[in-house]
Structure 1
């Protein structure tokens, strides 16, 4: 009989075997991130935040990322559009401040599966364009089945001053990324086999920081064009963009995912 060991890490299908030990830290050696932050409606955003968390501010962070030199994927690249909200986890002592992951789109299946199963990051698939730099502008967008649902435009791009870069480094050097891992129960009746809060810390070591003006446009597709994601995009589009929070940030960095520090929050 094939027995799974408690001191091994497995991914489905687990019966083919796992590896000794648990999650480890892994490095993304060449990451370019483009981040927009904006104020939104407090009540509308709070409705998306689960029990145990509280908003630190009514704010959305949309981060597009091009990941290269991905250590655990033998250098294979992939792109991301992640949507986060600033939260405090109140059930821990002391409380934990960080960013709650509302949704993450990725353009490769390989990073989606362990992100969902191991750490509960709500990853789903879309096509995500390479960053298009031209002069002092940059554009990228996410689309599915030919329909663009998130368009990001960065303009007036400039190098950060020494003080501005220091502020960015202080904010992003360590990042508590939190999420909710939900595994539905099979069969009739609904419910969950697993439903729990998680923590997946990250670290960023910047090599270049630029600042910019930026805009984010959400476009909800009709149901038949994106039946699994349309309700997610519609909810994000319904969150009003009240005003930007500081300048947009374009950062070249080494990104270290601290799988060794990932844990359940309870």
Structure 2
């Protein structure tokens, strides 16, 4: 049986995920802390380890918690995204890391990527597309984001699942940040990851697949200009009978591909669930 235990510190509630276990020798129930969850008002399903996410008590608590604090949390997320965008554009890695470290005290890497870093980078991309930023500004933001992701990737990794994921982009697609987010996320969650991004030629990708024999291939395509090269890559990959998942902003207006799994711009949680069902 699992439940949440809360402590009040300076008028703020903090929660722990706790497991109750019966000690047959002592004939008493012992409580084992599974995970510190941070502020009670900020706890989401992503903070709960996978094996406890379907527990009826946990789902009931989160439903109640979400209803009472959703407006407060959304206001916090909007402000945090704004600060992240500002510091990325300034190339201010120190403050970017500070935002991540503060966020990570109360939430997961998954939540940070999906709710803070990705939206901030999308906003920067939209500003560049609208010619409100020059290419130098975009490069500063991208390089700072890459340094952040590298730092996140140094966290301790989960036990190996014995499964390998190969990540790549089509030839000519140089937007690599989504691939590096996926690399750190899946590595931290116990997968072996081969990241060939950005823009590896199809024959190079095929050689790595032949040598490393991955269990699944993830393809990221950001710009519509690279749909055709992505289609050529997929046709080459279909010969080898390995599951393929494709996603990216280039697919938001429609799916030109068939016989592969297309997820457009999924959250990392959604992508993870899909992959678990495939390999």
Flag the structure with larger Rg. 2
TM-score, normalising length from structure 2?
Answer: 0.21
Higher RCO (CA-CA < 8 Å; seq separation 6+): 1
> Which of the two has greater strand per residue?
1
